[in-house]
């Protein structure tokens, strides 16, 4: 029996999320459910999808490992399309400051925030970063994540940014979860460039981008386009240059202040714009027209006690909405997919169907891999989640509790809650 050859049969609901590009507007409610479904994976690639009766008629189960998913829901592997999972140190004290009423920007101004994590990450060894990052991915895997995006941005100098990206590359080779790497050297202005943001952007363009590109260390470039961080003009300058170096674009946009980040993402043809708590109607309309995925991060808004992004409005305006955790050491120290789904459905007004789409095919589109992952379609990677309940509707219903029983990556069972017990 070849590794990566698997049949999953008798699924109460086989939730295919079928498609090869982001789903927009009403399409996000179309899950393509097959009752009593089955899926065939050979050499890690999906070869057939259908009813159990039809699949077993055409395939000899003796040639496959077989998982019986009776009374279970089966979905595509989840894609967490916005995280900062490689970092040094923690910021628990800052969380307590926020609880007493200090704002995120106030904490940044006193030397906390991102700069705090920069100090710890610069001091950390590659081995320390690798071990911590791998452990975080172990937790993500238990929540059904089979592909994750990881950002640098806790170096803010060439050596540490490269160190973070190289660690992600090593973790990608050592862990079942696929890691999509994003260079985010413009996450904040480092202390040594305080008051000289323009010079820091030029440093990134002159020194960091050429090295990142030459060594093929990242697929994407991101920037924190925000008041008192990087302006729209600075963001446009860096991202335009990153595009010339062959990097695809992402944007931290309109998180704290309505600055025009959504409009810029549309103008530059970014793959995604993320956060979007304060985005204007015009910016949302521009993103919908340009096909920019709106990646929303409800656990961050929850942790910061901020208003949530207007997920319902964005979908109704024809946007493709993705959901991601934003795991990071400061504003959102959580990789919890169940909490994210609860917040998205209860407070951002996404339906359960839209939430599933947002963490599968639209999450895949947010990392430009919708042609390879994010749905149970023939030809895609055999990345599958099996719930311990008969329907995907249990994901928001069992509030904040993990409903994932098994995770399959490239046709191989890589997590099984029953084995842990």
pLDDT at residue number 1: 42
Q: Are residues 307 and 171 in the same domain?
A: yes
Q: Are residues 30 and 83 in the same domain?
A: no
**Strand order from edge to edge, sheet including 293-296:** 78-80, 145-151, 178-186, 220-225, 248-253, 272-275, 293-296, 321-323
pTM of the predicted structure, to 2 decimals: 0.97
What tokens appear for 104 in the block? 């995120």
Q: Are residues 270 and 193 in the same domain?
A: yes
pLDDT at residue number 421: 53
Q: Are residues 412 and 294 in the same domain?
A: no
Question: Rounded distance, CA 106 to CA 72, Å?
Answer: 47
Q: Is residue 134 part of a domain?
A: yes
Q: Is residue 1 part of a domain?
A: no
- Helices marked H in 48-113: 52-58, 92-99, 104-109
Residues forming beta bridges with residue 179, ordered by sequence position: 148
Over the stretch 358-373, which tens digit does the pLDDT of each residue have? 999 999 999 999 999 9
Query: The CATH number of the domain where 271 resides is what?
Result: 3.20.20.140
Residue 90 has pLDDT above 90, yes or no: yes
Query: The CATH number of the domain where 13 resides is what?
Result: 2.30.40.10
Q: Are residues 156 and 303 in the same domain?
A: yes
Q: Are residues 207 and 348 in the same domain?
A: yes
Q: Are residues 265 and 401 in the same domain?
A: no
Q: Is residue 340 part of a domain?
A: yes
Q: Are residues 65 and 98 in the same domain?
A: no
Instruction: Tell me which of 347, 366, 385 is where a domain ends.
Output: 366
Q: Is residue 261 part of a domain?
A: yes
Query: Contact, 271 vs 300, CB < 8 A?
Result: no
Q: Which of 150, 11, 20, 155 is nearest to 86 (CA)?
A: 150
Residue 2 has pLDDT above 60, yes or no: no
Query: Contact, 305 vs 343, CB < 8 A?
Result: no
DSSP 53: H
Q: Are residues 42 and 148 in the same domain?
A: no
Q: Are residues 57 and 195 in the same domain?
A: no
pLDDT at residue number 123: 97
Q: Which residue has the higher pLDDT, 22 or 95?
A: 22
Lowest mean pLDDT among 134-138, 189-193, 231-235, 279-283: 189-193
In 3-state terms, what secondary structure has residue 80? Answer: strand
81-103 average pLDDT score: 91
122-142 average pLDDT score: 98
Q: Is residue 358 part of a domain?
A: yes
In 3-state terms, what secondary structure has residue 348? Answer: coil
Question: Rounded distance, CA 76 to CA 26, Å?
Answer: 20
Over the stretch 283-299, which tens digit does the pLDDT of each residue have? 999 999 999 999 999 99
Q: Is residue 289 part of a domain?
A: yes
Domain count, the chain: 2
Q: Which of 196, 163, 31, 145 is nearest to 409 (CA)?
A: 145
Task: Give the residue numbers spanning the domain of 223.
Answer: 79-366
Question: What backbone torsions phi and psi does residue 95 show, to the nearest 5 degrees?
Answer: -60, -40
CB atoms within 10 A of CB 353: 17
* 165 confidence band (pLDDT: 50, 70, 90): very high
């Amino acid at each position: 029996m070849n590794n990566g050859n698997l049949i999953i049969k008798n699924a109460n609901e086989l939730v295919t999320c079928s498609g090869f590009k982001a789903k927009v507007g009403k399409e996000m409610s179309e899950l393509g459910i097959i009752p009593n479904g089955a899926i065939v994976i050979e050499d890690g690639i999906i070869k057939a999808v259908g009813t159990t009766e039809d699949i077993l008629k055409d395939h000899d189960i003796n040639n496959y490992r077989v998982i019986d998913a009776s009374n279970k829901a089966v979905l595509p592997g989840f894609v967490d399309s916005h995280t900062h999972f490689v970092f040094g140190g923690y910021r628990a004290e800052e969380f307590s400051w926020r609880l007493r009423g200090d704002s995120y920007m106030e904490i940044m101004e006193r030397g906390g925030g991102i700069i705090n994590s920069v100090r710890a990450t610069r001091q950390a060894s590659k081995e320390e970063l690798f071990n911590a990052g791998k452990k975080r991915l172990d937790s993500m895997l238990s929540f059904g994540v089979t592909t994750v995006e990881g950002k640098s941005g806790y170096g803010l100098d060439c050596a540490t940014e490269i160190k973070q990206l190289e660690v992600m590359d090593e973790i990608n080779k050592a862990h079942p979860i696929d890691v999509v790497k994003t260079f985010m050297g413009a996450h904040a202005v480092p202390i040594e460039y305080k008051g000289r943001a323009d010079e820091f952007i030029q440093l990134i363009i002159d020194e960091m981008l050429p090295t990142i590109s030459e060594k093929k260390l990242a697929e994407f470039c991101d920037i924190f386009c925000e008041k008192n961080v990087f302006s729209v003009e600075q963001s446009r300058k860096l991202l335009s240059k990153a595009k010339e170096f062959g990097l695809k674009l992402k944007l931290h946009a309109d998180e704290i202040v309505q600055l025009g980040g959504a409009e810029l993402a549309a103008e530059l043809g970014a793959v995604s714009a993320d956060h979007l708590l304060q985005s204007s109607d015009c910016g949302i309309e521009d993103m919908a027209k340009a096909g920019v995925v709106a990646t929303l991060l409800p656990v961050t808004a929850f942790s910061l006690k901020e208003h949530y992004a207007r997920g319902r409005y964005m979908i109704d305006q024809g946007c493709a909405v993705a959901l991601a955790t934003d795991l990071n050491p400061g504003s959102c120290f959580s990789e919890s997919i169940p909490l994210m789904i609860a917040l998205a459905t209860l407070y951002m007004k996404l339906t359960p169907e839209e939430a599933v789409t947002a963490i599968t095919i639209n999450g895949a589109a947010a990392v430009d891999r919708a042609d390879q992952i994010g749905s149970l379609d023939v030809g895609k990677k055999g990345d599958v989640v099996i719930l311990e309940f008969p329907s995907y509707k249990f994901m928001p219903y069992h509030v904040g509790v993990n409903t994932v029983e098994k995770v399959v990556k490239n046709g191989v069972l890589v997590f099984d809650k029953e084995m842990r017990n």
